[in-house]
C-alpha cells in the first residue's frame, strides 16, 4: 500500500493569473506537464443513452421465491444519459468513466475534465445519474444505485468498438468519488458484475473505515481543510487495509477545501455549512497526479 500525503509546500506548476478562466488553466497545466494536445475530438460531447447494470437478486431471495412458488421479475437497469467524448481515430482507446457529485453537472466535471482527459488520449463518458431519475440535487439524501450506473457505463463502453475494455478507469467527484470507492472495494458491488475497472480515482470522497480493501489501484485526492469529506477518515480507512489490498495513493493538499479542482468555485461558497473553494496550486498538483496515475495503470 502506498500513501503519499502532499501536505508540505511545493512550487506551483501553473502560471494562471485568473483561475476563473478554465481554458487558460487547462492549457497552462497541459503545457507544463509536457503533454501534447490532441486534435479536436471527433465526437465531443455526444449525448448517449444506456442503462445501469441491473441489481441482481440475492440467492436468498431466489430460494425463498422458489419455496413460496413466486415468479420473480427479471431485474431491470435504470435508463441513463451520458456525455461521450473521444480522441480522433478508430482506437481502441483506454477510457475513463466520470461520476458527478451530489450537485449534478458542474462545469469542471461536465466540460473541463473531459477536455483534459481526451487531450491525453482517453475516451471519456460522464454519467448523468440524475436527469432520467428526475433529480436535481442529492446533497441531503442518498442515492445508492450509482455504483450500478458506473458499471452500466463500463458495459456500454466495452461494446463500443473504439474502447479497450481492459483499460477503463472510474473517476468520481465528491459523492461520485464515494461511489467510485464503493464500486472498487472487496466484497462490494464489484463481485456482482463480470466486467471490472482497471483503476479508480476519487476526488474528495467520503471515506469510511468499513469500506474494505481496494480491489484495484486507487488514487484519492482531498484537501487538508475539507470538513465535508474529512481527510483523516481516508487515512483511517487506509490504515485498516490488509496486506492483500491493491495499492492506494492518498494525496492530501495543504490548505485546500472541498472542490479545490473546480475553477467555478474561485470565489468560494458555503453549502450546508461546508466550504467549497478552488485552489489553483492544489488543482495543478492533482492534475499532474491524475495524469501520472492513468499513464501508469491504463497506458497511452
Per-residue tens of pLDDT for the chain, all 300 residues:
433 343 332 322 222 323 333 334 433 443 334 343 333 444 557 899 989 987 665 555 556 556 667 665 666 789 999 999 999 998 899 999 999 998 888 899 999 999 999 999 999 999 999 999 888 877 777 666 789 999 999 999 999 999 999 999 999 999 999 999 999 998 777 777 889 999 999 999 998 866 789 999 999 999 999 988 999 999 999 998 988 899 999 999 999 999 999 999 888 777 777 888 999 999 999 999 999 999 999 987
**Neighbouring C-beta atoms of residue 85, cutoff 10 Å:** 23
pTM: 0.80
pLDDT at residue 4, rounded to an integer: 39
Can you list the domains of the chain with their CATH numbers? 22-52+74-297 (3.40.50.1820)
Give whole-number Cα distances, 111 to 86, 90, 108, 168, in Å: 13, 22, 6, 19
Find out whether 126 and 82 touch, Cβ atoms under 8 Å: yes
pLDDT at residue 10, rounded to an integer: 30
pLDDT at residue 210, rounded to an integer: 66
Find out whether 200 and 169 touch, Cβ atoms under 8 Å: yes
183 Cβ contact list (under 8 Å, min separation 6): 147, 150, 151, 170, 189, 190, 197, 200
pLDDT at residue 22, rounded to an integer: 39
With the C-alpha atoms ordered 215, 220, 224, 229, is the resulting torsion angle positive or negative? negative
Instruction: Cell numbers for 280, please give them.
Output: 489553483
As a whole number of Å, the CA-based R_g of the chain is 19
> Alpha-carbon distance 285 to 209, whole Å?
26
pLDDT at residue 29, rounded to an integer: 40
Give whole-number Cα distances, 154 to 27, 86, 195, 264, in Å: 29, 15, 7, 28
Amino acid at each position: 500500500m502506498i500513501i503519499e500525503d502532499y501536505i508540505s509546500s511545493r512550487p506551483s506548476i501553473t502560471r494562471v493569473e485568473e483561475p476563473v478562466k478554465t481554458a487558460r488553466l487547462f492549457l497552462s497545466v497541459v503545457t507544463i506537464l509536457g503533454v501534447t494536445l490532441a486534435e479536436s475530438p471527433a465526437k465531443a460531447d455526444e449525448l448517449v443513452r444506456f442503462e445501469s447494470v441491473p441489481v441482481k437478486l440475492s440467492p436468498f431471495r431466489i430460494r425463498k421465491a422458489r419455496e413460496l412458488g413466486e415468479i420473480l421479475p427479471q431485474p431491470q437497469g435504470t435508463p441513463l444519459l451520458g456525455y461521450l467524448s473521444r480522441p480522433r481515430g478508430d482506437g481502441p482507446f483506454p477510457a475513463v468513466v466520470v461520476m458527478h457529485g451530489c450537485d449534478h453537472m458542474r462545469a469542471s466535471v461536465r466540460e473541463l475534465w473531459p477536455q483534459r482527459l481526451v487531450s491525453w488520449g482517453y475516451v471519456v463518458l460522464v454519467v448523468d445519474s440524475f436527469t432520467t431519475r428526475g433529480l436535481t440535487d442529492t446533497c441531503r439524501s442518498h442515492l445508492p444505485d450509482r455504483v450500478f450506473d458506473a458499471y452500466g457505463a463500463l458495459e456500454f463502453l466495452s461494446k463500443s468498438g473504439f474502447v479497450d475494455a481492459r483499460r477503463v478507469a472510474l473517476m468520481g467527484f465528491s459523492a461520485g468519488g464515494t461511489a467510485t470507492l464503493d464500486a472498487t472495494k472487496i466484497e462490494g458491488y464489484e463481485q456482482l458484475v463480470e466486467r471490472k475497472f482497471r483503476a479508480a480515482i476519487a476526488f474528495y470522497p467520503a471515506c469510511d473505515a468499513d469500506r474494505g480493501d481496494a480491489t484495484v489501484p486507487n488514487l484519492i485526492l482531498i484537501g487538508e481543510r475539507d470538513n465535508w469529506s474529512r481527510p483523516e477518515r481516508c487515512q483511517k480507512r487506509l490504515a485498516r487495509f490488509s496486506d492483500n489490498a491493491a495499492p492506494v495513493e492518498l494525496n492530501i493538499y495543504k490548505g485546500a477545501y472541498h472542490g479545490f479542482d473546480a475553477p467555478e468555485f474561485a470565489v468560494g461558497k458555503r453549502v450546508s455549512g461546508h466550504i467549497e473553494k478552488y485552489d489553483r496550486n492544489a488543482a495543478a498538483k492533482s492534475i499532474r497526479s491524475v495524469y501520472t496515475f492513468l499513464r501508469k495503470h491504463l497506458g497511452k
